[in-house]
Structures are given as structure tokens and as C-alpha cells.
Structure 1
């Protein structure tokens, strides 16, 4: 069972969420807080696994509450909870994921969306959270542990860097091609290249590959080279401009070329 705290300054909104939680099942006990200060106080006294958190509240808003929970509770004795934001506004999505939210749900929250978010939160079970230490927390902020805030038909979601195979720019959008498909990011390719450094390799003006996922390159019948990546049917084309640098790095790493 998963313990949950519902934080919302509107009594009717809390009541509706309590009814949804009751219909989802596998959730108990459930506590309530009507503002950010009360939520922090209640969690300090009685920690829970998940906090369903409104953003726009008087006093300390939901984003600040999440940041304080993460800052105050990172030890094995009292780990931070999984945070699911439930709000009527979508403009805080990026800030929400920077606060390490598990999910961002727009009101009115549906039972299916809530169930999916709770399932995602359940992966951070108590045993896993209790195993966190200072090293694990530091790794979460490293390149390998990085997560992106991505857009999909289902809304905003978090995409772990470990699942990304390459980044591709098409007109004004940048997509992250991952093991389950593609998601749109707000970062430009240049920003991603600067942020990720040696973890990625430029292969085309429109493409960056995640180097840890590269297994080689292959020449097509048309004479073009493509990157061979794990779990991807067809990798991006390598442009003539970037071919020599890619080959050099591939040779240094001992990976095959396939040409």
C-alpha cells in the first residue's frame, strides 16, 4: 500500500481527489493539508510515500513546497516523497520537473491519469528510497542521471537520458528518439550539445547521438553513412562534414564501422 498526502487550499478539490484515490485502490493512509506550511509540518511528523500537490496556493506555493521537501528530506531515515503536481495551469510544467516531480496532472484530474502517475511513483518504493545516500543523490544530478522535460500527446513527462538514443532537429522542434518512440524537447541541439558535452556526438547539423548507445556505422547502397545505435532500427545520417570526426572517435573506442 502507498501512503499519500493531498495538498490543496480548496476543500472541494481535496474531497474530489480523496474520492479518486479511493477508487484507484492500493492507497492508504491518506492525509490532507490545506496549504504549503501545513504540508511541510505534517510530512515532518508523519512522512508519506507520495504528495499530490497543488501549485497555486496562498503562502508557500507548491513548487516551493516540493523544493523544500527535496532539500530537507534526502536521508535514509526520512527520504523525500514522490511529488505529483495537480494544477489547473500548465505554465509551471518545466519548473515542476526541475523540482523533480514524478508527474504533472492538469485539473480536472481523471482516474486513469491519476492511476498512471501513482504507478510511476510506486517505482520509487520505500525500499529504494531508504537506500538513497549522498552518492546516489549526486549521481542523480550527473549527465547519466539526467532527465528531460518532454512533451507528448499525453502532456508533459520526464524522459531519462539513459533511454535516449539520439536527438534530431526538424524545423523548429527538437525530438529525443528513445527506446519507446520520440518526444519533443524545448532545448535546441546547441544547448543539448553544450549541456551534455562528451556524452553526445554531433553527426549532422540536425542530429546528435548519445555516444554510449553507438555500436558502429553502416554505409547504405546510396553511399551515405548512418549511425548504428542500440534498440533503433535506423540511426541518423552522418554528414560529410562530421564523418571524419565520427570515424576518429569510433576508431579510438574500438567499435565496428560496418562499411
Structure 2
């Protein structure tokens, strides 16, 4: 097979360089094609270089390693090179790592230990060899696993703060949005919202007759919404399910939503296409 390529995404330069050196020692043939300092750069560099393997630090500024991997899955060329094998680099303890126990996606702990990294390299070599002899459905497998990992409470924040099944208390879903409008605070019922869209540090709120901006990230807002009624359909979009009129699939298999109350059409990412399967 061709020389395998790898992208390393790590916001701490010394840790990234240490990982590069360890990989050079354990796997001399491996070609490091990109070193990304944050999640957004990791997505851009990976789409340019199309590496065979990505090492992603989970906790990076702006976009986590999990979110970067999900974004990469959304934008990866469908008819091109197979989706890269993913290895997450994390400082989390064993509680958080339970999410990885049954996943084909691998992980290594910080600080990276040579013995553990050697096991990961052996696993990666074996999987790449299997791809050559019998191509694997890597894209859908990675998407399914990423979806599960993105929903794991222990991977959404500090592991020692993650709730246990005995202590977790789900607050009541948000019912009203308090929106600053000049010198006033407008009360917007959540039931009137057609969809939410991420806009940098804000969230765009669209109702049938108004549009608002609220100063909160979509990541912070999402846990406050009724998950049965509000569906995330893209990494930056959450839509009220009963506002969906139909989901239309084009010739390339991409889904677009047509909504009640607005002429806007919303793209559905690969990560959430499973929500729209006809009975």
C-alpha cells in the first residue's frame, strides 16, 4: 500500500511535537502531513490533505476534537478516499473513557505513553491492511460511533464533574427565551421558534414573523431544549420537529428540510440523517 498519512490536531505545541516524535519512532513509514493547532484548522487541513489517520485532541479551543471529527464526517468527499481512522487524545479518566470501550475508534491518554501508543499503531496498521484487501464501510461506522460519543455526558465537560446515573437530575425544558431588544427584554415562547442556528458566539432564533439573536452558544442552549421536540439536524442547526414539512433527498443522497412557517431550507448533515427514515 502507499505510505500512510496522518494529521495531528493538538492545541499545545509541545504535546503535538511529542506525539509526532513518538509516532516517528514507532512507525517510521508514517507521514505526518499536517499539524493543526485547533479544531477548525484540523477540519480544513484534513479536507485538503485527506489523511489516512487523524489524531484528535478532545479538548481544543473553539471546536472540540469530537466536534471537529463530526464536521469532517459531514464534509468528507463521498466518492473519494476512505474516511480517516480516528484516534482521540484525552486527559480524561476512566469514567469518561467508558464511552470508547466498544468503539472501533481508538484513544490514547495524556501524557502519551509509548507502550500504549504502540498498541494503537499496531491496531491502525491492521485496519489499514484490511481496508486494502477488503474495503470497510468506514464512513457510516465512524458516523455512528461519533454520534454516540457526542452524546456521552462524560465527554462534554470535565470528567470529574460529569453526573452519575444516581445523581443526574434533568431540569425542565426551557419554555421562554429572554431576548434583549434595545432597552427591553422580550419574552419569546420556545414553542414559537422554528429553528435555532449557530452564529459565532450567538444563536440566531427564527420564528414565523421575527428573527432574534441571543448571546449563548448552541452547545450551551441545546441541553436546555426538549430533545423530543427540538432535533439537531446539523452541527449548527436545531429545528422544531413539528415545523418540518418534508425531508427531500437529492441524487447525491443529501437531505434538505422544507419547513412550515418559512421558505428557508435546512441541510441535514450525515451525522443526523438517521432521523429521517420513512416507515
Max Rg structure: 1
TM-score computed with the length of structure 2 as normaliser:
0.43
TM-score computed with the length of structure 1 as normaliser:
0.46
